[in-house]
Every structure is written in C-alpha cells, then in structure tokens.
C-alpha cells in the first residue's frame, strides 16, 4: 500500500485507488501522514479538524474516524494505525510514502552538488520533483499547525526546483531554463534567487538588454510592494552584467548573486594557464548559500551618508536627542544621527527606524536610504510604537491608554499621513504594543495600575478592530513576539481562589498563540518584577528587576526555553539600572541607565561587555532595538519616561 500527500491525498493498493470515506476521515489521515511513524495526540487531531471551536462530541468523533480508517487501510490483517498514550501512530515504510521518498532524493541530490556532480544531482532533483502532483494535500484545509507543515513541504518543492535550475545553469542549459524561469518569476515575484537565475540565464543566452530589464523589473516590484531596494547580491549581479564580468560565463557565475563577493571568485585564466591546462573545470559546481529572507533584511546606512550622520568611528561623539547605531560584533559606535525631539522607544523596518518622542508628542522616521529625519505629530505622550514596511505605524499614548492611533504614510517623501484611524481597546487600555504573526497585540500594564491591568488584546491590523482579548490573571508588564506566539510577562496578586497562594507576588510568563487562543502561563520567580522581555535564538529573555530605580545585585536576565517550559539559565547583570532589552546578532542587549551605556551579554559564555554611549549626567538611553546587523539606541536628555 502506497500513501501520497504531495498533491491530493491518495492511497493506492495494487495500482488501484482506495476509497477514503468522508472529508473528516481524509483530514485525520492527512495529519497522520504528515507525521508518519510519529505519535499524534487526540487533541492535535481535534485542533486540525475544528480549530478553535470543537463540538462537545469531538473526542468521540475522532475515535469513530480512526475506527473507519483502520478498516479502510486494513490489508491481510495488518493494522497500520496503533494507539498509545492518548494518541495515534500511522506506521508507514519510508519508501511507501511519497514525501519520505522525496526528502531522500533531495538529500542525495544535495550531496551530489557538494561533490561537484551537477548532472547526477539534476537527475535526482528531477526524480524528486516528479513526485509532486500539485499542492500538498490539495483540497484539504487544516485548521491549526498542519497549515504550516503543508506550507513547509510546498516550500521544499520550490527550493528543490531552484537547486535543480542551478544545476542546469552549471551545465550550460540556460536556454532550456528560460521558459521555466519566466513562469516561476511570475508566480513568485519577490524571490530574488529566481530573479538572479533569470538574469544569468538571459545574459548567457546573449540577451544582455533583457537581463538588465529583468533586474529593473525586480527592483520595481521590490520597491513598490515592500519599499526596499534589491539585495546587495542582486545589485552585484547587475553590475557584473554591465561590465561583462568573465566569471558569469563560468559554472561558478552564480556566486555573484549568492552572497559571495565577486572578488572571491577564481581569477581569470592567463594564456600560460590555459596552455598548461590549469584553471577550474567547466563542469565544476559549488553549493549555494542563500541569505535572502526579505523579512529580515535591514538596509543599513552605507558610505557617502548624508549630513544627518555625524560620525562613524569607535569614539563617535554622542549627543542628546539622537539615534545611535552600534556594530553588534565589534561593539563600536558606527553613526550618530541627530533627531529633532527626545526619543523614547524604537521600531525597526527594512527601510526606516521609527522613534516615539514622549515629551514632544511626535514620531520620527530616519530613512535608511536617504538618511533624512522627518517628524510628525502623534497623540499626547506617545509611549510605544510599531511599524511595518508598507508605511503603517501604530502608536500608543499614556495620555489615552484606551486608544491606539494608526497612521498610514507613503514609502518616502514628506512625513504626512495619508490616513489616520483610532483603535479603541478594552478598559484599562494599552501601554505596550507589538506587531507580528499577522496581528497587532496590546497589553495594559504596568502603567495603568487600575487593578485590572491583566488584559491582552488582539487587533486585526487590516480592519483595526479588536477581535479577541484575554485576562492572564496578573499585572501585565511587557510583550514580545516569536515562534508565532505572543509572550507576556506578568507580576502581582492577580490570581484568585486556590491559585492565589501560589501566585501571590510571583512573576509569570504567558504564551498566547492566535490559532488556538488558549493561553498557557509559566511561573518564573518570586518577589521581583519582569521589567522587559525579548525573543531571539529560539529562547525568551526576561529582564528581572528587584527595584526599578535603585538597581542592585538582583538585576538579572532569565533565559526561558519554550520547549522545556522553564527557565534554564540566569545571568546576573550587577548593579546596573537596565530599562530596556533586545536580542540580535546572537547577543542579549540591555541599556544601563547608571552609566549611559549599552550592555552586551553573550548567552553562550555569560560574558558581559559595556559600550559607553554618553555622559550619564546629561544623557539617558531610552530605547533599544537589535537586528543581526545593527543595534539601534535612542538617546534622550538626562531622563526617559520609562526610567
């Protein structure tokens, strides 16, 4: 018996399709096949079948579906489905499941690529791709995590397809690849790897003008849809085409677009080398290492910056009311950009850095392309803000906690809102907000202090309507997003009844996934407040402060492991007065109010490095954000509201 999920769900026995019964039965079988030979809990099946609103008879219905599937799949007395520990396992030999065969063929092809055998690798990729009959589990709509698992398989198909095209280009089959690339680029216009392959194939086919037009079209699409320029790798390929770089004619020509600078390619052959038979073989092929995740690209300030950038050295002069960029690896100040207001909190997008200016009731945008700073009016006392690449900015205000203001700006030019909307959140309001997983999140505390500040609200950013809210039982402090979930810190005596004694005065961490809407709360520690939170490196990082303004040896960072559901490490940060936390470039970053410096914590070694950014008598670090390429620090005058 063979099982097929790379397309419509099919079960084949002796060349004939097996009738699989109702839609729900097919959904159950699809989930079991996504996790073939693994235990799948009954609760997981219920989530996939009914989502957030299962019927009271869900458990009984699942048992009925499994019973019917057993009868359908039973051959010669063999039961493919076993039951254990409240779950079910579908036992399938790897060669009997198309997804398993596909993964094995792709792995073999990648090994052949690494060995420099593109022709054999292309054959294996062809065999793997031939197993697909359409989108994974076509016609079946899963309600929970199964959608991500289906998307992962479809993504693997596209990756294998691009790898096979790389093999074709290495084998000088550019003419044959052009038609296929034209279709793929139309289907996936934001995939820079496909754009690069198309440009290279056109150039090798003697169509230099078409190759340059392909780049121009890619740039128009990226700028119009995402507000970003093409990656440096794609720009290098365009420049290589313009100068007729000889490396583009070799099998390694695609190194110009896979993140490897052209200078690292093999030097051109001399006449003597050619006579002696030296130089790379034409059939030599090297694996690609793409780093083109557009959502994570931050176009950083480069050379020739505008006058807004005052300095670029390890000893740059930091002024009050400025935005400071730090190299996360060297620990040095790269640039200082003056702002026209005192910044509070920071939001990073691919094209701009936004700051909320608490005292001046404004928001500022530092454009990473033009290096210009523009400001606009914002609600009184704007405390927090989030932004996306499309020009949407949401601002929360301490003067009106129950309203979040949504601004819509253009991708460039004057900072004048095209549209403004007010989002009314439930009492007691929103002090902190976050954007991610397709939603806008808001938490009430701790600034509300109305006794009911345990509220977490979920907002649809398309309609600006509150679609759900939770009460986590403790005073909310901070929120971070990661792994498709919201992580909210809480503290205080929020629980009642039998839980009151356990949770009184304790800090907590609550995880909320919008797909299930079933929060889960973990106990952190007793006595201290979880002042700030960040997500990165697959872990949740929580800043614990014993006393918010005094500082002391009890200041520490907790490393919470989501898989283990507990704190796995504690890092003391001494007598510093931290008021903000971020994660980027593999480090945990804190602000040190006592010394007006940034603290870099290496979670692997526990080592701490302090990076001074100003005089603590006249300057204060009010906000921090980190990416894999830069740490951004908002510097105010002497004191910040969140100090």
Contact 337, 366 (CB under 8 A): yes
| 137 plus 194 within the same structural domain | no
| 78 plus 147 within the same structural domain | yes
| 39 plus 6 within the same structural domain | yes
C-alpha neighbours within 13 Å on the C-beta side of residue 625: 22
Distance between CA atoms of 244 and 606, rounded to whole angstroms? 50
3-state secondary structure of 369: coil
> Per the domain annotation, does 400 fall within a domain?
no
- What CATH number is attached to the domain comprising 73? 1.10.10.10
| 145 plus 235 within the same structural domain | no
Look at residues 169, 200, 216 and tell me which one is the last residue of a structural domain: 169
| 217 plus 137 within the same structural domain | no
Distance between CA atoms of 325 and 332, rounded to whole angstroms? 9
Confidence (pLDDT) at 446: 63
> Per the domain annotation, does 478 fall within a domain?
no
pLDDT tens digit string along 309-326?
333 333 457 888 899 999
Distance between CA atoms of 620 and 597, rounded to whole angstroms? 9
Confidence of residue 617 (pLDDT cuts 50, 70, 90): confident
Q: How many domains does the chain have?
A: 3
Q: Is the dihedral of CA 369, 373, 376, 377 positive or negative?
A: positive
> Per the domain annotation, does 521 fall within a domain?
no
C-alpha neighbours within 13 Å on the C-beta side of residue 485: 21
CA angle, 32 then 483 then 572, to 5°: 135
E strand or H helix at 458, and its extent?
strand 455-460
| 14 plus 125 within the same structural domain | yes
| 198 plus 318 within the same structural domain | no
Distance between CA atoms of 40 and 86, rounded to whole angstroms? 9
Task: Average the pLDDT over each of 166-170, 482-486, 504-508, 609-613 and give the range with the smallest value.
Answer: 504-508
Q: What is the pTM of this model?
A: 0.54
> Per the domain annotation, does 272 fall within a domain?
no
> Per the domain annotation, does 236 fall within a domain?
yes
Residue-number span of the structural domain to which 192 is assigned? 172-176+183-265+291-297
| 223 plus 164 within the same structural domain | no
Please tell me which residue, 159 or 257, carries the higher pLDDT value. Answer: 159
| 49 plus 99 within the same structural domain | yes
- What CATH number is attached to the domain comprising 607? 2.120.10.30
Look at residues 169, 201, 224 and tell me which one is the last residue of a structural domain: 169
Those residues whose C-beta lies under 8 Å from the C-beta of residue 68, and which sit 6 or more positions away, are 21, 25
DSSP letter string, 514-580: TTT---EEEEEEESSEEEEEEEETTEEEEEEESSTTT--TT-EEEEEETTTTEEEEEEE-TT-----
- What CATH number is attached to the domain comprising 206? 1.25.40.10
Confidence (pLDDT) at 109: 93
Write the CA distances from 283 to 169, 264, 275, 570, integer angstroms. Answer: 10, 19, 19, 53
Those residues whose C-beta lies under 8 Å from the C-beta of residue 478, and which sit 6 or more positions away, are 432, 443, 488, 489, 530, 531, 532, 533
Confidence (pLDDT) at 251: 54
Cis status of the peptide bond prior to 482, with omega within 30 of 0: no
Confidence of residue 576 (pLDDT cuts 50, 70, 90): low
Confidence (pLDDT) at 502: 52
Task: Give the rounded percent of residues in the chain with a pLDDT score beyond 70.
Answer: 82
Look at residues 119, 139, 169 and tell me which one is the last residue of a structural domain: 169
Contact 125, 118 (CB under 8 A): no
Q: Is the dihedral of CA 127, 129, 135, 137 positive or negative?
A: positive
Confidence (pLDDT) at 560: 96
pLDDT > 50? residue 591:
yes
| 115 plus 259 within the same structural domain | no
| 144 plus 20 within the same structural domain | yes
Burial 534-570 (b: 16+ CB within 10 A, else e): bbbbebbbbbbbeeeeebeeebbbbbbebeeeebeee
pLDDT > 80? residue 144:
no
Distance between CA atoms of 489 and 445, rounded to whole angstroms? 10
> Per the domain annotation, does 278 fall within a domain?
no
Confidence of residue 128 (pLDDT cuts 50, 70, 90): very high
| 102 plus 211 within the same structural domain | no
Confidence of residue 447 (pLDDT cuts 50, 70, 90): low
pLDDT tens digit string along 229-252?
888 889 989 988 888 877 787 654
> Per the domain annotation, does 21 fall within a domain?
yes
> Per the domain annotation, does 626 fall within a domain?
yes
Contact 141, 10 (CB under 8 A): no
């Amino acid at each position: 018996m063979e099982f097929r999920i790379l397309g419509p769900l099919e079960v084949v026995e002796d060349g004939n399709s097996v009738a699989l019964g109702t839609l729900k039965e097919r959904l159950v079988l699809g989930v079991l096949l996504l996790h073939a030979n693994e235990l799948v809990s009954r609760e997981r099946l219920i989530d996939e079948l009914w989502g957030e609103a299962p019927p009271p008879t869900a458990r009984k219905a699942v048992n009925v579906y499994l019973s019917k599937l057993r009868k359908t799949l039973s051959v010669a007395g063999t039961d493919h489905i076993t039951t254990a520990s409240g779950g079910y396992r579908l036992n399938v030999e790897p060669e009997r499941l198309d997804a398993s065969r596909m993964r094995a063929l792709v792995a073999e092809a990648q090994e052949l690529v690494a060995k420099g055998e593109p022709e054999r690798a292309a054959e294996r990729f062809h065999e793997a791709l031939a197993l697909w009959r359409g989108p994974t589990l076509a016609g079946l709509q899963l309600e929970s995590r199964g959608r991500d698992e289906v998307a992962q398989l479809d993504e693997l198909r596209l990756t294998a397809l691009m790898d096979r095209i790389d093999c074709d280009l290495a084998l000088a089959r550019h003419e044959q690849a052009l038609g296929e690339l034209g279709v793929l680029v139309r289907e996936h216009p934001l995939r820079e790897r496909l754009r690069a392959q198309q440009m290279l194939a056109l150039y090798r086919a003697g169509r230099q003008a078409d190759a340059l037009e392909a780049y121009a079209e890619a740039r128009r699409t990226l700028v119009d849809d995402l507000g970003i320029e093409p990656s440096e790798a794609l720009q290098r390929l365009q420049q290589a085409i313009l100068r007729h770089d000889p490396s583009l004619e070799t099998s390694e020509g695609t190194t110009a677009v896979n993140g490897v600078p052209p200078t690292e390619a093999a030097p051109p052959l001399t006449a003597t080398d050619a006579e002696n038979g030296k130089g790379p073989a034409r059939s030599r092929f090297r694996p690609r290492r793409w780093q083109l995740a557009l959502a994570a690209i931050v176009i950083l300030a480069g050379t020739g910056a505008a006058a807004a950038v005052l300095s670029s050295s390890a000893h740059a002069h930091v002024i009050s009311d400025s935005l400071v960029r730090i190299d996360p690896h060297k620990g040095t100040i790269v640039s200082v950009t003056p702002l026209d207001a005192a910044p509070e909190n920071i939001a990073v997008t691919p094209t701009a850095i936004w700051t909320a200016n608490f005292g001046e009731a404004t928001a500022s945008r530092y454009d990473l392309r033009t290096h210009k700073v523009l400001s606009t009016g914002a609600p009184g006392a704007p405390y927090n803000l989030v932004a996306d690449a499309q020009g949407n900015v949401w601002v929360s205000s301490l003067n009106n906690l129950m309203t979040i203001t949504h601004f819509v700006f253009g991708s460039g030019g004057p900072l004048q809102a095209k549209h403004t909307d007010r989002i009314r959140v439930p009492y007691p309001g929103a002090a902190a907000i976050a954007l991610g997983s397709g939603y806008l999140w808001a938490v009430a505390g701790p600034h509300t202090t109305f006794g009911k500040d345990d509220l977490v609200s979920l907002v649809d950013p398309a309609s600006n309507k509150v679609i759900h809210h939770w009460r986590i039982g403790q005073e909310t402090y901070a929120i971070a997003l990661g792994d498709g979930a919201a992580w909210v810190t809480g503290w205080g005596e929020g629980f009642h009844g039998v839980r009151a004694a356990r949770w009184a005065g304790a800090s907590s961490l609550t995880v909320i996934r919008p797909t299930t809407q079933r929060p889960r709360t973990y106990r952190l520690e007793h006595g201290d407040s979880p002042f700030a939170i960040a997500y990165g490196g697959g872990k949740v990082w929580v800043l614990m402060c014993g006393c918010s303004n005094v500082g002391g040896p009890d200041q520490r960072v907790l490393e919470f492991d989501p898989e283990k559901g507990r704190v796995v490490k504690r890092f003391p940060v001494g007598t510093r007065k931290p008021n903000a936390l971020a994660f980027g470039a593999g480090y945990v970053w804190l602000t040190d109010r006592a010394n007006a410096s940034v603290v870099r914590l290496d979670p692997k070694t526990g080592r701490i490095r302090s990076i001074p950014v100003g005089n603590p008598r006249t300057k204060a670090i009010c906000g921090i954000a980190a990416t894999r390429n830069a740490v951004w620090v908002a510097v105010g005058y002497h004191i910040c509201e969140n100090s």
